[in-house]
Amino acid sequence: MKIEVVPTARDLQPENLTGKTALVIDVLRATSTIITALNNGCQAVFPVTTPEEALELRRRLSGPILLGGERQGRRIEGFDLGNSPAEYPPEVVAGKKIIFTTTNGTRAIRACTRAANLVIASFLNAAAVVEFAAGTGTNILVVCAGTRGHFSLDDILCAGLVVDRLLQRLRPAGLDPTVDDLGLAAVDLYHLYSNDIRAGVERSLHARRLKQMGFDEDIALCTRVDCHPLVAIYHEGSVVPHSSGSTKGPTSGG
């Protein structure tokens, strides 16, 4: 069994996804916001690459729909919601479909659709993601969205948490997964900050930019570990809460 970590969506090699379970991480803020929305009763999140694609998809979907996402960190003109988890409480999102587009996170999700299982990961739902991923029996590719094509410390710390826990979960079961160099480095970095994840995330350039823009609260919201026991899976165009039975294992995947 192999566990690999990819530093940015740009580093993905599509052929490396086949048969694997991909865990996509964009701590600040896309995957944290998607998990928050689904935890608050949102029916499905449709990740799309551009605002134009979002508008086009809205014309084709039925039912109550919201448009969410950001460019340059801010809500897109004409959209209902931005990219802050705080904008997605139950009274806003319950029962709704959300079409969502962000600079890094939704692109990373869309880049991983070849994977056997495509799981949305964040600090908020890390425990649930690890439990799910360990149960697939497949090789695991942890995909950090990164920030505009660059290595991002916030995503790597979350990757380190996930890899560390996968190893704790799998080794006693007799499996001893091989971990690539970035996976080993991510675990080391996570251990340095495990007592104060927020402090580690705040060192990142992305967090510093968000603070300058007034999004301090988002950093606090996105660095709560294990507050939502939710597995969310991308399947045929949308991210939905996982119901058991749709997992692809190592033989059926790909």
Cβ neighbourhood burial of 224 (10 Å; 0-12, 13-18, 19+): middle
Q: Which is nearer to its own copies, 70 or 154 (CB)?
A: 154
Q: Which amino acid is at 236?
A: E
Is 94 a binder of its own copies (CB under 8 A)?
Answer: no
| Binding status of residue 151 toward its own copies by CB under 8 A | yes
Q: Is 12 in the site for its own copies (CB under 8 A)?
A: no
84 is an interface residue for its own copies by CB under 8 A: no
Q: Is 103 in the site for its own copies (CB under 8 A)?
A: no
**Angstrom distance (rounded) from CA 96 to CA 66:** 7
Site residues for its own copies, 175-194, by CB under 8 A, read: 180-182, 184-185, 188-189, 192
Task: Examine residue 223 and tell whether it contacts its own copies (CB under 8 A).
Answer: no
227 binds its own copies (CB under 8 A): no
Q: Which is nearer to its own copies, 76 or 222 (CB)?
A: 222
Q: What share of the chain is helix, strand, coil (3-state, %, to 5)?
A: 40, 20, 40
Q: Does 198 bind its own copies (CB under 8 A)?
A: no
Which of 3, 7, 125, 136 binds its own copies (CB under 8 A)? It is: 7
**Contact status: 152 vs its own copies (CB under 8 A):** yes
Residue count (the chain) = 254
User: Which tokens go with 236?
Assistant: 């045929």
Report the DSSP pairing between strands 74-75 and 65-71. antiparallel
Let me know the angle formed at the C-alpha of 117 by 111 and 121, rounded to the nearest 5 degrees. 75
Confirm if 47 and 239 have CB atoms less than 8 A apart: yes
Q: What is the spatial distance between Cα 191 and Cα 108, in angstroms, rounded to a whole number? A: 25
Please tell me the count of residues contacting its own copies according to CB under 8 A.
21
Stretch that binds its own copies, among 3-11, 20-28, 60-68, 89-97 (CB under 8 A): 3-11
Three-class SS of residue 45? Answer: strand
Residue 134 or 159: which CB sits closer to its own copies?
159
Structure tokens at 69: 């996402």
Tokens read off for 45: 């999140």
The region of 87-95, 122-130, 162-170, 198-206 touching its own copies under the rule CB under 8 A is 198-206
Q: Which residues are at the interface with its own copies (CB under 8 A)?
A: 7, 10-11, 147, 150-153, 156, 180-182, 184-185, 188-189, 192, 203-206
